[in-house]
Structure 1
């Protein structure tokens, strides 16, 4: 009895060791998530696959409504931009951009040495806007066009849904955003993901700001970037500085995914947006190249898609202080190409 009592722990230890070796081999353990293969977030910064820090300097392009204007990508590149945020539609509100079209957009971005941020616009103002759809539906769209995006992790960032939630039920943003991120990761997406704020992107209730850490932690890849849209809510330098500095202090990645020099809801401080993002080394994507409706036509950067007809807003963002021409650096992956 004594002998058995003494040897039992040794036998148990050996068995435990063998099980410890066998379980991973049998796939019974919880596997570590694959490291990002392209863009990745590290210490609050967006890095390329090479490890180079990447700061977005670019504009939005309304591709889904102007599908014959792919030549605009070359014109956008000519301004010095390193990124373009491309409007797509899931088919819930506007005509769906199919897999072939998405693949062509990605190809055109790469041909013009632009990083491609792709976004689903059908989520805009969900809860306030008739026809707007959910982040879950947007995630389903991305899964349906996955074949156009697989292997493009060094060139493409997936912006899950534009301005999800208006000013109604926006507190649901946190749970819905986490669920959409996890749906895409579960479907095998290894891309850097971008998530827009609620309140029509402007986060005036600070839902995104105050829950960003938990949303970031809910991504098994820890590879999510936050995007705020700065229009009338951000009408002073103090508001711009406070909002962006809080993310930087928390080491959470933030970009200004849309902004303008004027808007129907107030007068954004574009000088402060440009200066603050430059000082903090944060990305910005102005709205928008061309094709805005008459009610916000002043947000066109060029007239009628003509790159030789810059508007006052175009001159400001491209050629003004802290603008694209002065501050943009091409993505390292394109250097030498």
Structure 2
């Protein structure tokens, strides 16, 4: 947000009651993950879920993420919004990296809100990309997102319009949602407001009903970022009430206790969120720069050194410790409870220069058998898979997906399966850094 304009009178949202009605029991049971009912976000068990968490800048601090997720959970959060990059402005977070993030969230029993950050301030910020480019990114990593609908919410693009060209927000957002649904994404989709997320023009507020009903799944959640535009309780309450009174799902996807464009009323944000049952995600765990270091919740990613803003968000009135409730899906999540996940992979490389062999052992370290498996990893360098035995493999760029043959379908609890392949290369041969089994990151063996 650059500056606040005078308040604009907004029309009340219009929506047919029949379109906002709760789904039938059969519909709810058919949902693969999170879904929206009567303006509320419900988890896959049909339980009300209110986001209470923080933002973490994974794309700039990837080595901090594993510990950050554990610390964020230990402080009482039930969710984390994770900054990802499409590769247009910042280094791309590829499929294997995103799979590892999701696995870390699940092990820490945190709902993972993944957001594409390269759209920030599109139309005003140099280098920012459109929502269409963000959708391209989600499509490129769709394989590691499938099956994660119970644990992952997809935030299409961060602050997708600045203070120029924001009138296109409605059509751009509708088109992005339509592309995601046509591609088979069943996840709850989160959409950010324009005007650097703060919607001073009320573009999102006044068109949210239209966008929601255009989603064939009726599974879109709206996200407002509350900084200097929202410096009074009246403004905070009026904005959030406009959504909840129309049974439209709204969350505060970012907010702080200070900002360069004005002093947000964080007390009003948190009080209104509690009163209305609205989710919030504070910005941000650590690592802020460019003059907004005051938005760090911790000093140098150290959970034992909460800043004043961190203490307010986690420990204060209406804060995370007081109001967060864990998603019910974690009661039966097989990825929970093990620091190393439920699998381990051994990868023995035979390096012959411009060709190589790999013998791979997949161990089930869980307590129940795995029937039907998929192992995903990225080959380093310019390696290509040629032939495979005891499994079947496909390759797309560096990404490799291996699935079982009929005779290697089951991995008993505590047991293993093995397969191998040979390949060619034009560079140095190496070992993949991350393996995921059915979407869950595995430990080394």
Same fold (TM over 0.5): yes
- Which of residues 305, 315, 318 is equivalent to 1:319? 315
How much does 1:335 deviate? 2.9
Inter-partner Cα distance in structure 2 for 1:218 and 1:106: 28
* 2:80 match: secondary structure: strand
Q: Does 1:121 align with 2:133?
A: no
Inter-partner Cα distance in structure 2 for 1:275 and 1:335: 29
1:223 equivalent in structure 2: 219
What is the TM-score normalised by the length of structure 1? 0.89
- Which of residues 166, 181, 188 is equivalent to 1:185? 181
Q: Does 1:65 align with 2:60?
A: yes
What is the TM-score normalised by the length of structure 2? 0.68
- Which of residues 19, 40, 52 is equivalent to 2:35? 40
Inter-partner Cα distance in structure 2 for 1:36 and 1:178: 21
Query: Structure 1: 5+ residue runs without aligned partners?
Result: 1-31
How much does 1:49 deviate? 1.0
* 1:130 match: secondary structure: coil
How much does 1:73 deviate? 0.4
Query: Which structure carries more helix by proportion?
Result: 1
- Which of residues 162, 165, 183 is equivalent to 1:166? 162
> 1:22-72 deviations in whole A, cap 9, x for unaligned?
xxxxxxxxxx9x953100000000001111000000000000000101210
Q: Does 1:263 align with 2:259?
A: yes
Inter-partner Cα distance in structure 2 for 1:99 and 1:236: 41
Matches within 5 A, 1:97-246: 97-246=93-242
Inter-partner Cα distance in structure 2 for 1:284 and 1:154: 19
1:293 equivalent in structure 2: 289
Inter-partner Cα distance in structure 1 for 2:31 and 2:252: 23
CA RMSD after TM alignment: 1.2
Q: Does 1:50 align with 2:45?
A: yes
Which structure's relative contact order is higher, taking Cα pairs within 8 Å and 6+ residues apart? Answer: 1
How much does 1:313 deviate? 0.2
Q: Does 1:308 align with 2:304?
A: yes
Inter-partner Cα distance in structure 2 for 1:72 and 1:304: 11
How much does 1:334 deviate? 1.2
Query: Which structure carries more strand by proportion?
Result: 2
Inter-partner Cα distance in structure 1 for 2:88 and 2:144: 20
Contact residue 40 and residue 47 of structure 1 kept, 8 A: yes
How much does 1:90 deviate? 0.2
